[in-house]
Structure 1
Amino acid sequence: MMFIKVGLARGMIRTLLLAAAVPLAAAPSTAAVQTPLPAADAALPAYADMADLVLAAPVIADATIRSTARIKGAEAVGLAPGKQRFYVEADVASLIRGAAGLPARIGYLVDVRLDARGRAPRLRKERVLIFARTVPNASNQLQLVATDAQLDWSAALDARVREIARAALAADAPPTITGIGSAFHVAGSLPGEGETQVFVQTADKAPVSLSILRRPGEQPRWSVALGEIVDEGAGPPARDTLLWYRLACGLPRALPATSVSTLSPEDAEIAAEDYRFVIDALGPCARSRAISGDRGPA
């Protein structure tokens, strides 16, 4: 394993360690009509994991690692058990996301998992995707949005990352969900017929609502509207799209009591049941990464 000059490495490491940490959270996001990436590669991380990284990262780059230096002692503070920290220098092949561009060679810290024998993987010459933010006053230095926000490159992973990044920057991207507003239920003329509408609160105050229709003898149908006009024919979002992610990972699991406080007990019960139907239809927001505790050296 190649080592870079110690004096240079220490200066860069101090710069990175002093960089302000930014929470890994939902950033901009996608259109109501999206084409999900075919789930042909079982080795891909969960969609929610990838969306977490892409939305948190102002800079996403395809790069090849040129050299590494192992970080020890005080400069490895916060290192999780079973991992090793490295200072990496890498050559940038392409910039997937990043408004200001990048120099041809960059440096950053990364934590990698050790194998069963306690050995780190060979990183030099590896092609990787990195998810990062820039470091003030150091144009060639990056800080990963999570300590391990470096993934081995593959064509399928690259395609998924680019698809999420494009969706995040779309003009009609759905906003970050912050909670649930009011909910209403209107009974139909026949027993078991009715419509529930749930208004979703968003970070930028953009209107988002859920509509659930029930007809006797039929399965309930639901749709989501990104705007003031409700299109009952729109239907639910496809799984593994950014709109699905916003809903599945952003909506509370149960309808808050405050949302139905003005309804009769009967209507409130139906509204809560309809909301549960939506949550069950969306399915779980499956993640495998330790998001909350793995933000990167601060």
Structure 2
Amino acid sequence: MKISRVKSLLTAIILVASTGSAESQTPALAPAPTYADLADLALPAQVVAHVRVASAARLKPAEAPGLAAGRTRFYVQADVISLIRGPGEMAARVSYLVDLPNDADGKAPKLRKKEERLIFAASVPGRPGELRLLAPDAQIAAVPADAERLRAILREAAGARAAPRITGIGKAFHVPGSLPGESETQIFLLTAENRPVSLSIVRRPGQAPRWAVALSEIVDESAAAPARNSLLWYRLACGLPRTLPPQSLADADRNDAGAIRADYGLVLNQLGGCPRNRIRR
């Protein structure tokens, strides 16, 4: 193992740990990652790859500054089986640091040769083949179903009409209909790319409320609620705040504000939350 290479990887993982984004490595018997877990890891990653471990050297505590208690740091060399996302050219063998949790007795885990993993990382500039994991735990078991879900997530994200990241809620409006129980609410969302996204909730007498999301300034009849475990569902279920901010209701009177809150609650309820199994510390 080249000392200079290990030092550069140590520096990279210290930077990740210092941001407070480090999360515990999912142990073998932990619940499977959810759609949201996979999207959290894949969307910001420059490199997503299926790899096979060629060697894993356990580092001594003195060689692993910033290591959280109860974990062991490994220097891993792995062969790339398939590149799910990454640059046009990628080294056949890559190296990276990963922190793995110790077992219940405090013993260091084992990362065996030929074990297969899915990793989420960034390339190290000027050092071909060196990777910096997105977080110290951004290595998970290489389950075929998860690899397929990752491909589907990244295909959606690369589309021309991919759902943007939600950053907040803009203005909300409510218009009562001419019949009792008839109304329409429209809630405009704020996005990272300043792209138009809005929610519309329609109520008709004798019918179940219907809501839809539009990814353009025009809400047409084809707009619908997103399918669960889709990128648009993830953006909404995991990005919308649990309550409307006061400024969103600034132009609404008391009755309209109450109706808007009820309609927004309907949307959150039907989205069903954003389940995650990765432990956040």
The residue aligned with 2:9 is 16
The percent of aligned pairs where both chains have the same amino acid is 52
1:151 aligned to which of 140, 147, 159 = 140
Per-residue CA deviation, residues 155-187 of structure 1 (Å, 9 max, x unaligned), is: 111111111111111111011111000000000
TM-score, normalised to structure 1, is: 0.85
Query: Aligned ranges for residues 203-242 of structure 1 at < 5 Å?
Result: 203-242=192-231
Following the alignment from structure 2 to structure 1, what is the Cα–Cα distance between the partners of residues 143 and 177?
52
| 1:101 aligns to 2:95 (yes or no) | no
Classify 1:273/1:92 alpha carbon distance in 2 versus 1 (closer, same or farther; 3 Å). same
1:65-214 correspondence runs (5 A)? 65-117=53-105, 118-214=107-203
Cα distance between partner residues in 2 of 1:128 and 1:18? 23
Question: Which 5+ residue runs of structure 2 have no aligned equivalent?
Answer: 22-29
Structure-2-length-normalised TM-score: 0.90
Assess if the C-alpha contact under 8 Å between 2:16 and 2:135 holds in 1.
no
Say which of 44, 56, 69 aligns to 2:44.
56
Structure 2 CA distance for aligned equivalents of residues 155 and 288 of structure 1: 18
Task: Considering Cα pairs closer than 8 Å and 6+ residues apart, tell me whether 1 or 2 has the greater RCO.
Answer: 1
Conserved? CA contact 1:95–1:101, under 8 Å: no
Residue in structure 2 matched with residue 270 of structure 1 by the alignment: 259
CA distance in 2, matches of 1:104, 1:196: 53
Contact 1:24 1:146 in 2 (8 A): no
One-letter code aligned to 1:266: N
Question: Residue 275 of structure 1: CA displacement?
Answer: 0.6
Displacement after TM superposition at 1:188 (Å): 0.2
Q: Deviations over 1:196-215 (max 9, x none)?
A: 00000001110000000011
Rounded to whole Å, the distance in 1 between the matches of 2:226 and 2:165 is 16
- Residue by residue over 1:12-47, the C-alpha shift from the partner in whole angstroms, topping out at 9 and shown as x without a partner, is 22112333549799xxxxxxxxxxxxxxxx963111
Instruction: Using the TM superposition, name which of 55-64 and 193-202 deviates more.
Output: 55-64
* In 2: Cα distance, 1:12 partner to 1:71 partner: 14
Does the 8 A contact of 2:51 with 2:79 survive in 1?
yes
Q: Secondary structure at the match of 2:120?
A: strand
Aligned counterparts of 1:147 and 1:68: Cα–Cα separation in 2: 15
Gaps of 5+ in 1: 26-41, 294-298
Please say which of residues 245-254 and 112-121 is displaced more in the overlay: 112-121
Over 3 Å counting, the alpha-carbon distance change for 1:16 and 1:114 in structure 2 is: same
Shift of 1:234: 2.7
Give the 3 Å change call, closer, same or farther, for CA 61–158 of structure 1 in structure 2: same
Match of 1:282 among 271, 275, 278: 271
SS in 1 for 2:43: helix
Q: Contact between 2:173 and 2:260, CA under 8 Å: does it hold in 1?
A: yes
Shift of 1:75: 3.0
Q: Secondary structure at the match of 2:236?
A: helix
Residue in structure 2 matching 1:44, options 23, 29, 32: 32
2:243 maps to what in 1?
A: 254
Secondary structure in structure 1 of the residue aligned to 2:154: helix
Contact 1:69 1:88 survives alignment (8 Å): yes
- Residues 78, 21 of structure 1: alpha-carbon distance in 2 compared, 3 angstrom cutoff: closer
Letter in 2 for 1:237: P
Q: CA deviation at 1:57?
A: 0.7
Give, as a single letter, the amino acid of the residue that structure 2 aligns with 1:209: S
CA RMSD of aligned residues (A): 2.0
Query: Does the CA-based 8 Å contact 1:115-1:121 persist in structure 2?
Result: no
